[in-house]
């Protein structure tokens, strides 16, 4: 089964929308109330909203920022005196009704039940009871009365420990697949790492098995906050994978992004990096023009599009930070669509070829003198995870 590619919106979401509307990069969007106030979302054209999913971002019910306040349905807004764990159940149905009404009125593709971030140290039974009591059951009750024909998606956050612990992941899968009335899962996997790419083969292999189990249970499986590992996870047959601009929409780290909601400081401009599809990695921009000078046919490796031409021009200034992201939308979505067009076993063969070729290219770069500071170090972990998963599926002889 083919999958769709959605933009995970965040800061400067206008770049994503332009890319989707004007260049056909991707199939839809996941909207972020943290970055878009209510009126801005409501003014989006129906052509966007009909192919959009709303990410409620209830992750920290104690704190919301100014944009989120404009929606009026967050636990912090609905509960008198602010969110309180003991008091909230009496107001959870109000919260659910307002949130569902907003999603219905804006004609989004799905209706999403939100979730709260729960630390991995919490017993799984406690986590399940909390999510059922505070979010899933109140929303399901309201939806029964609403008589909606929209597909219902439940949002789930898995920490690294939950993913890697077989007992925890088994309990969570049994719970998710047993929730009556839902059609799918919006899966967010927490990724805390000093590396820009995930390089833990056990984590990736475990996550592939979780996604595969959801798919085999015929649930719409939406993988949020993905970096280029979306290519690897496509082996588990998801329904939707995501692409995004800044690193905080290509990974999920609750402590980084949500612990201090409402106290965000001005966002620092990230170090400019460029996605090179043939390397399956983001490379510091300072290397790009030197690569163009020293590597034959480098433009083909980088991806041939108008943004490539712009970045390789001697007059280009990296202060135009949107260009590398627009380049990624073109090349990243193209790469994902090519993989998605293949039968599932053929995806493994093709992806293996791409990864092995990328490893060889990094070796060749080192041999001619490029010192890229750990770029490409994730590829052995990806190959390992892909091979282990393929062996389970009977694709690897």
Question: Which range has the worst mean pLDDT, 30-44, 186-200, 215-229, 275-289?
Answer: 186-200
Chain-centre distance for alpha carbon 251: 7
Structure token pair of residue 273: 């990096």
pLDDT per residue as tens digits for the range 57-71:
999 999 999 999 999
Residues near 186 by beta carbon (within 8 Å), at least 6 away in sequence: 53, 55, 112, 153, 154, 155, 156, 222, 224
Mean pLDDT within 75-104: 93
C-alpha to C-alpha distance for 367 and 292, rounded to whole angstroms: 16
Residues near 140 by beta carbon (within 8 Å), at least 6 away in sequence: 113, 180, 181
- Going by pLDDT thresholds of 50, 70 and 90, the confidence category of residue 268 is low
C-alpha to C-alpha distance for 63 and 68, rounded to whole angstroms: 10
pLDDT per residue as tens digits for the range 168-183:
999 999 999 999 999 9
| Mean pLDDT over the full length of the chain | 93
Mean pLDDT within 198-215: 97
C-alpha to C-alpha distance for 66 and 263, rounded to whole angstroms: 10
- For the chain, which residues make up each domain, given as ranges? 4-257, 273-393
Residue 242 has pLDDT above 70, yes or no: yes
Mean pLDDT within 183-210: 91
To the nearest whole percent, how much of the chain has pLDDT over 70? 97
**HEC letters along the chain:** CCCEEEEECCCCHHHHHHHHHHHCCCCEEEECCCCCCHHHHHCCCHHHHCCEEECCCCCCCCCCCHHHHCCCCCHHHHCCCCCCCCCHHHCHHHHHHHHHHHHHHCCCCEEEECCCCCCCCCCHHHHHHHHHHHHHHHHHHHHHHHCCCCEEEEEEEECHHHHHCHHHHHHHHHHHHCCCCCCEEEEEEECCCCCCCCCCHHHHHHHHHHHHHHHHCCCEEEEECCCCHHHHHHHHCCCEEEECCCHHHCCECHHHHCCCCCCCCCCCCCCCEEEECCCCEEEEHHHHHHHHHHCCCHHHHHCCCHHHHHHHCCCCCCCCCHHHHHHHHHHHHHHHHHHHCCCHHHHHHHHHHHHHHHHHHHHHHHHCCCCCCCCCCCHHHHHHHHHHHHHHHCCCC
pTM: 0.95
Neighbours of 118 (CB within 10 A): 19
Fold annotation for 4-257: TIM Barrel (3.20.20)
Q: 374 vs 167, which has greater pLDDT?
A: 167
Mean pLDDT within 278-294: 93
Strand order in the sheet with 110-113: 52-54, 28-31, 4-8, 240-243, 220-224, 184-189, 151-158, 110-113
Q: 254 vs 33, which has greater pLDDT?
A: 33
Specify whether the CB–CB gap between 111 and 155 falls below 8 A: no
């Amino acid at each position: 089964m083919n999958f769709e590619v959605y933009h995970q919106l965040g800061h400067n979401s206008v770049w994503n929308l332009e890319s989707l509307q004007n260049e056909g990069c991707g199939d839809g969007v996941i909207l972020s109330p943290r970055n878009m106030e209510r009126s801005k979302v409501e003014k989006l054209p129906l052509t966007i909203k009909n192919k959009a999913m709303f990410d409620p971002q209830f992750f920290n019910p104690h704190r919301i920022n100014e944009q989120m306040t404009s929606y009026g349905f967050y636990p912090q807004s609905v509960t008198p005196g602010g969110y309180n764990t003991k008091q909230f159940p009496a107001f959870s149905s109000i919260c659910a009704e307002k949130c569902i009404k907003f999603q219905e009125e804006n004609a989004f593709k799905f209706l999403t039940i939100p979730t709260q971030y729960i630390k991995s140290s919490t017993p799984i039974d406690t986590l399940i009871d909390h999510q059922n009591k505070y979010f899933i059951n109140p929303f399901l009750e309201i939806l029964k009365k609403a008589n909606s024909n929209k597909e219902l998606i439940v949002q789930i956050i898995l920490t690294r420990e939950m993913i890697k612990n077989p007992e925890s992941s088994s309990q969570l899968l049994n719970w998710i697949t047993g929730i009556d009335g839902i059609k799918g899962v919006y899966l967010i996997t927490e990724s805390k790492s000093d590396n820009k790419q995930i390089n833990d083969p056990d984590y990736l292999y475990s996550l592939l098995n979780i996604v595969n189990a959801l798919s085999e249970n015929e649930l719409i499986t939406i993988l949020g906050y993905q970096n280029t590992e979306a290519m690897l996870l496509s082996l588990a047959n998801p329904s939707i994978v995501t692409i995004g601009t800044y690193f905080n929409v290509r990974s999920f780290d609750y402590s980084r992004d949500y612990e201090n909601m409402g106290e965000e400081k001005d966002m620092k401009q990230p170090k400019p990096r460029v996605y090179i599809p043939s390397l399956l990695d983001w490379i510091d921009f300072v290397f790009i023009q030197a690569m163009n000078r020293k590597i034959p046919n480098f433009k083909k490796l980088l991806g041939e599009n108008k943004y490539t031409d712009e970045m390789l021009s001697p007059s280009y200034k990296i202060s135009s930070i949107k260009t590398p992201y627009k380049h990624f939308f073109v090349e990243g979505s193209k790469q994902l669509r090519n993989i998605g067009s293949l039968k599932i076993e053929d995806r493994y063969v093709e992806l293996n070829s791409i990864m092995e070729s990328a490893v060889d290219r990094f070796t060749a770069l080192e041999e001619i003198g490029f010192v890229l500071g750990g770029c490409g170090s994730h590829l052995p972990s990806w190959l390992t995870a892909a091979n282990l998963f393929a062996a389970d599926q009977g694709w690897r002889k």
